[in-house]
Amino acid sequence: MTTADITSKSAIAIDKARAEGRAALIGYLPAGYPSVEETIAAGIALARNGADLIEVGIPYSDPVMDGPVIQAATTEALAKGFSVRQVFDVVAGITSQTDAAVLVMTYWNPVVRMGVDEFSRRLAEAGGAGLITPDLIPDEAAEWMDASEKYGLDRVFLVAPSSTPERMRRTVDASRGFVYAVSIMGVTGARSSVSSAAEDVVAAAKAAGAERVCVGLGVSTAEQVAEIAAYADGVIVGSALVAAVRDGGVDAVAQLTKDLCTGLTRK
Partner 1 sequence: MADAPTAGSDEGTVDAFLEGGTSLRHAPGPYFGAYGGRWMPESLIAALDELEDTFEKAKADPEFIAQIADLNKNYSGRPSLLTEAKRFAEHAGGVRIFLKREDLNHTGSHKINNVLGQALLAKRMGKTRVIAETGAGQHGVASATAAALLGLECVVYMGAEDCRRQALNVARMELLGATVIPVTNGSQTLKDAINEALRDWVANVGNTHYLLGTAAGAHPFPALVRYFHEVIGEEARAQILEQAGRLPDAVCACIGGGSNAIGIFHGFLDDPSVKIYGFEAGGDGVETGRHAATITLGRPGVLHGARSYLMQDDDGQTIESHSISAGLDYPGVGPEHSYLADIGRVSYEPITDSEAMEAFKLLCRTEGIIPAIESSHALAGAIKVGQRLAAEAGTAGASDKIVVVNLSGRGDKDVATAAEWFDLLDKDSAEAVIGKEGEQL
Which spans of this chain sit near partner 1 (rule: CB under 8 A)? Answer: 60-65, 67, 71, 75, 78, 83-84, 108-114, 134-137, 139-140, 157-164, 167, 171, 182, 185-187
37 is catalytic: no
200 is catalytic: no
Q: Which is nearer to partner 1, 15 or 135 (CB)?
A: 135
Beta-bridge mates of residue 152? none
CB of 24 to partner 1, least distance (A): 21
Q: 183 in helix, strand or coil?
A: coil
Catalytic residue among 52, 66, 154, 233: 66
CB of 127 to partner 1, least distance (A): 22
Q: What is each CA distance from 82 to 34, 73, 89, 133, in whole angstroms?
A: 10, 12, 12, 20
Q: Which is nearer to partner 1, 112 or 207 (CB)?
A: 112
CB of 200 to partner 1, least distance (A): 14
Q: Which is nearer to partner 1, 21 or 81 (CB)?
A: 81
CB of 45 to partner 1, least distance (A): 27
Alpha-carbon distance of 53 to 50, in angstroms, equals 9
Q: Which is nearer to partner 1, 186 or 249 (CB)?
A: 186
Q: What is each CA distance from 229 to 87, 134, 206, 256, 264, in whole angstroms?
A: 29, 22, 15, 17, 6
Q: 142 in helix, strand or coil?
A: helix
Catalytic residue among 5, 20, 37, 55: 55
Q: Can you say whether the dihedral through the CA atoms of 73, 57, 16, 14 is positive or negative?
A: positive
Distance of CA 66 to the CA centre of its chain: 13
Asked if omega into 34 is within 30° of 0 (cis), the reply is yes
Q: Which is nearer to partner 1, 7 or 192 (CB)?
A: 192
Alpha-carbon distance of 248 to 141, in angstroms, equals 38
CB of 8 to partner 1, least distance (A): 21
Annotated catalytic sites, by residue?
A: 55, 66
